[in-house]
Amino acid sequence: MSVLDIKLDRSFDVFDSDGDGRLQKSDVIALSDKLAESLGLAPDAVAGLRGSLADLWDTVFQKMDRNDDGGVDRQEFRASFRARIVTDQNRIWERIRNMSNAWTELGDHDGDGMLSREEYTSLLHGMFRLPHVTCDDAFNRLDADGDGQLSRDEISSAMKEYYTSENHSARGNHFFGRL
């Protein structure tokens, strides 16, 4: 299995909110509700994130359902994501960046446009239920300039590298923790 396949499988797992092995729109949107609950926010406070996740589903993930059964299984996700990355169909990076920006905005408690270690860990744990130690390790790897903060550019760059790089040592590979 390639490095990219390992990362795509991990991504599939974090998007599969109910763990049933199939992605559905409700799985993807539920991530915003998990984050709202974790951060003690009203559901309206995550409307921007919910909207960007719905857009990501409607324009990207739903089209991965090759057998038209209403869900996306792991193989469909892996094969389709690879194809979409190569062609950037449906402006996938724009949609991922929109989701990333909405996510970052929710976690940026001091409004400085950056995420501290605590803010990043709180977001990853809250939205994807990843262990705190995994989030902490991810932060250490993603903080490219070592300033103790993650900028939107560092986050977007890491996400793009996560979904495209076959290099096992690429910094962005650690977005959801160590491979």
Domain 3-174: CATH class, spelled out? mainly alpha
Give me the amino acid identity at 26: S
Q: What is the pLDDT of residue 96?
A: 79
pLDDT one-digit tens code per residue, 17-68: 899 999 999 999 998 998 889 888 898 899 998 998 899 899 888 889 999 9
Task: Indicate whether this model's pTM tops 0.95.
Answer: no
Using DSSP, state whether 137 is helix, strand or coil: helix
- Stretch among 81-85, 140-144, 168-172 having the lowest mean pLDDT: 81-85
Tokens at 36, concatenated: 């709202």
How far are the Cα atoms of 81, 147, 148, 166, 176 from residue 3, in angstroms, in the given order? 14, 28, 27, 5, 14
In this predicted structure, the answer to whether residue 118 has a pLDDT above a threshold of 70 is: yes
Checking if the pLDDT of 98 tops 70, the result is yes
Phi first, then psi: give them for residue 4, nearest 5 degrees.
-65, -40
Asked if residue 150 has pLDDT above 90, the reply is yes
